[in-house]
Structure 1
Amino acid sequence: MPSTPFEDFGRKVDEHINNAAPRIEEEVRRVITYLNDEVVPKVRQNSSEALRIAADQLRKLADHLERK
């Protein structure tokens, strides 16, 4: 039984996806590495900095309340 144009199209799409899959997987690995190495440390640093600022403000508030 001969294949239909739709079946031929499906085979071509499958072939393209199979060829692209290793590149996609590699790009996903690169994104994960970038997030882990660059983004996460900066988020942690900014979070700890924000906590220090908040702690300082709370200390000032406590000092102010004690003076009243």
Structure 2
Amino acid sequence: MAKKNKTNRSLKKRFRITATGKIKHGHVNRRHLLAGRTSKRKRQLGQPAVRNDIVAKKIVLAMGGA
């Protein structure tokens, strides 16, 4: 009998899969040391990022997707 792959739970908490199969995630550099960043930069870091590349395909597979 074939063994099922386990879902990587840490990736499940960090990423979301959109309806079109892209990966949505939060930006880094938004936790501390924000005084040195411009308001524009901090505002942009608050928006979710979307990626659709080879790394995204690996993330989907690790999350149990097809």
TM-score bin (small chain) = under 0.3
Q: Which has the larger radius of gyration?
A: 1
* Larger RCO (CA under 8 A, 6+ residues apart): 2
More helix per residue: 1 or 2?
Answer: 1
TM-score for both structures, normalised by structure 1: 0.21
